[in-house]
A and B are shown apart, each in its own frame.
Chain A
């Protein structure tokens, strides 16, 4: 035996080297336990993401997929469902041998959430997997369940102490989907419960927007370049517009949606997170802790408009035509009350009270049944303080804009003025386009894939923490309070929101960008 030979220890692997970027980050052997495995999200996103990860060689040798739902199923029935979902929705090419490996070690535990026996069964299944599959007590619990079921499931996990790191001899993590509560108080209660059952650092709140490549690219754009950061402030920026539009309706989520509305469903999480990433200061490092510190500062600096009537506009869609099809109004949707005052559209003007952003309005809007599905952040710059051209020469010149398209067609567009070819001077806006998928098509894993891998690796960089979630509620709660008992404006399905939203910008001499 050579004296120079390497010593292998936990956390010290001589075969790993940060310079060796061909080797993927692979999680420890572990189990992924999915609650509500028969649900839409699980079938369309989660199970396919598991297959895609396996296909890219990113799952550990010992990996067990464990489903929990109220079905009289055996392991094989579950494996069959998982295979079908993966085959239908996976993004990477189908390879039978890859699936075979996941399918072989798939397990199913039947039962309802209030069934003690079922959870005891789950606990003993996990214990037996430790030996048979070498997962060393590591397990991630994905709660793909209605918010109302959270407390029950968490209490069951606590009772059986399968959420306890020490008792299991490995790590136990939990993934929670939005909504994280319905107001500040309920969110605090829920956070308290989750953090109590698991340890706070093992709780992963998933906001799939933050897993998107473009959102991460926003950080690269801002902090890896010299070109943008110097103008990224109130001296040069006139206003910021953040849009998240959906052409779809509420689908089968009527009960949930009617209680929540666009404010709680989208504004509180996705839109405010995008605002935080746009407005935050440079983090001291690209680490979970540093990023969250800066995001939290930005979220806490948000100010609401004084005149909520004008600057916090709600809308509800009525019957109309969208993409060549006739669609129902919100109140005509199945299981929506006839007199519902829930909003399907929100537009709001927020301020960020920091030296960098003082006086710059952040216009946020989101809605259902808008003309197209698009999410983007548009930074609109001030007009040049002086134009040496004749007034007629620059009539067609608008503001410079930098647009970060989050979806679809992920990329960046820069709008600036250019001379129109010809014998006289005329300046008009042109677009310069960077299409993310065109420069790098390979490395755009689906958001769920990325986030799921991060959970198994224990990397929290892309997950909001409970302080961030609570800061979001602090913005939304006063709005919800004001809106309660008031009727939303109506807009026709297939148009860009109610007239009041256009009015909101017109008062200050601005217009919405057409995304």
Chain B
């Protein structure tokens, strides 16, 4: 491990090359670069998740922490090959001051040559991704609405800002539910009559699940509130009184109720962040099904027909006018605003 204080991007590139030579991994089969944008207080959580994901998809991990916009510009970096951050190469960078607005100047030379780039915002994605160069340079962008103060509003914002190649971990969290539902539908028949989803209040995952069902089944699926945790109940009724009803009260095991069949209990655990991230790294093309579900959940149209590429738009958060208009422009530590509890609470909704 190499630790560099108050350094430059070129020094980091050199340190990485030296670490690679020392580890003997000169011709390693790097398949992608994962850029993780993280707040200082979440670094540990993000490192743990990224290490799990990197173990499944060997990648170059670039972890960017943006700090104290008003401090003098400074770059601290820690370079590792095969260590606590998984089997691949990892660079943790802390950027202070105005440098954090130009993070791409450090990140660009560190990207693995000609390999896909995925950018993941651990908690606070920019209001508009085009304002963050780290999002613009990525082919796939991963956000996590469930960690927002108001997950449902955050989801609507993601739909406004959507471009093919965006996904959200609130969507990843419901893959298990979707798999069970699809499997149940394999052996069902009849016209769909109605459906419903119940979840703890403010669940972006539940909105997406309802959106997906509405889109696929051609009906309108409402979301009702329950005690949680996460999604607790999904039911679809078919013509002629048959139904498919999944229930999960404890966040671990689901029970499948079907007419004319015995109840069946299946494990349906809420997955760790690392596993969710690994699922995202699995596919590097746009997820159209997510685009459709998001459109339906937020009442938008034709999200998948948008341009996949964004152009970077310069916005200075120090400029009083933009600061008022664009909340949380960057995932940097808010200078004066006291953090609200909900924002830092690591919520695991699904």
Contact = CB atoms under 8 A, between A and B. Distances in A.
B267 A97 contact: yes
A26 B182 contact: yes
Given A22-B279, A101-B265, A6 B216 contact: yes
B181 interface: yes
Given A8-B190, A438-B58, A440-B57, A61 B217 contact: no
B252 to A, nearest CB: 6
B183 A61 contact: yes
Interface in A364-400: none
Interface string B165-191: 000000010011011111111111111
Interface stretch (B23-31, B124-132, B306-314): B23-31
Contacts of A16: 182, 185-186
Nearest to B213: A15
Contacts of B342: none
Which residue among A6, A61, A442 has the maximum number of chain B CB atoms within 10 Å of its CB?
A61
Contacts of B213: 15
Given A1-B191, A14-B217, A8 B180 contact: no
A95 interface: yes
Contact of B193 (A5, A29, A60): A5
B188 A57 contact: no
B183 A60 contact: yes
Contacts, number: 132
Contacts of A17: 216, 289
Contacts of A7: 190-192
A498 interface: no
Interface stretch (B103-111, B148-156, B197-205, B256-264): B256-264
B192 A5 contact: yes
Residue among B180, B186, B194, B279 with most chain A CB within 10 A = B186
Contacts of A8: 185, 188-192, 238
Q: What band does the interface of chain A fall in when counting residues whose beta carbon is under 8 Å from B?
A: 35 or more
B159 interface: no
Nearest to B268: A57
Contacts of B238: 8
Contacts of B70: none
A97 B193 contact: no
B71 interface: no
B187 A136 contact: yes
B266 interface: yes
B182 A13 contact: yes
A134 interface: yes
A61 B253 CA distance: 12
Interface in B220-278: 220, 238-239, 252-253, 256, 258, 261-262, 264-267, 269, 278
Given A97-B252, A97-B253, A101-B265, A21 B57 contact: no
Nearest to B31: A439
B182 A23 contact: yes
A9 to B, nearest CB: 5
B186 A13 contact: yes
A146 interface: no
Contacts of A26: 179, 182-183, 186
B333 interface: no
Contacts of A95: 267, 269
A16 B288 CA distance: 13
B346 interface: no
B219 interface: yes
B231 to A, nearest CB: 16
B212 to A, nearest CB: 8
Given A2-B218, A22-B178, A98 B267 contact: yes
A17 B288 CA distance: 10
A295 to B, nearest CB: 29
B185 A13 contact: yes
Nearest to B261: A134
Interface in B6-59: 27-31, 55-58
B341 interface: no
A207 interface: no
B57 A5 contact: no
Q: How large is the interface on B (under 10, 10 to 19, 20 to 34, 35 or more residues)?
A: 35 or more
B48 to A, nearest CB: 16
A2 B266 contact: no
Contacts of A13: 182, 185-186
Interface stretch (A321-329, A428-436, A467-475): A428-436
Contacts of B184: 61
A9 B239 CA distance: 12
Nearest to B56: A442
> Which one of A8, A17, A133 has the highest number of Cβ atoms from chain B below 10 Å of its Cβ?
A8
B283 interface: yes
A487 B213 CA distance: 69
Nearest to A134: B261
B253 A15 contact: no
A181 interface: no
Contacts of A225: none
Nearest to B260: A134
A17 B182 CA distance: 10
Contacts of B256: 61
Nearest to B237: A1
Contact of A433 (B27, B267, B287): B27
A62 B179 contact: no
A365 to B, nearest CB: 29
A133 B262 contact: yes
Nearest to A9: B189
Contact of A23 (B178, B266, B269, B282): B178
Nearest to B212: A15
A432 B219 CA distance: 55
B188 A61 contact: no
Contacts of A443: 282
Given A26-B182, A57-B179, A439 B58 contact: yes
A423 interface: no
14 contacts: A4-B219, A5-B191, A10-B187, A14-B185, A14-B218, A17-B216, A22-B172, A22-B279, A95-B267, A97-B269, A132-B262, A134-B262, A435-B28, A438-B58
Across the A-B interface, give the 7 residue pairs with the lowest CB-CB distance, nearest first.
A442-B56, A439-B29, A15-B182, A4-B218, A438-B29, A20-B289, A134-B261
Given A15-B185, A439-B30, 20 more contacts: A6-B218, A14-B217, A15-B181, A15-B213, A16-B182, A17-B289, A19-B289, A21-B283, A22-B289, A28-B186, A28-B187, A61-B183, A61-B184, A133-B262, A134-B264, A433-B27, A434-B29, A438-B29, A440-B31, A441-B55
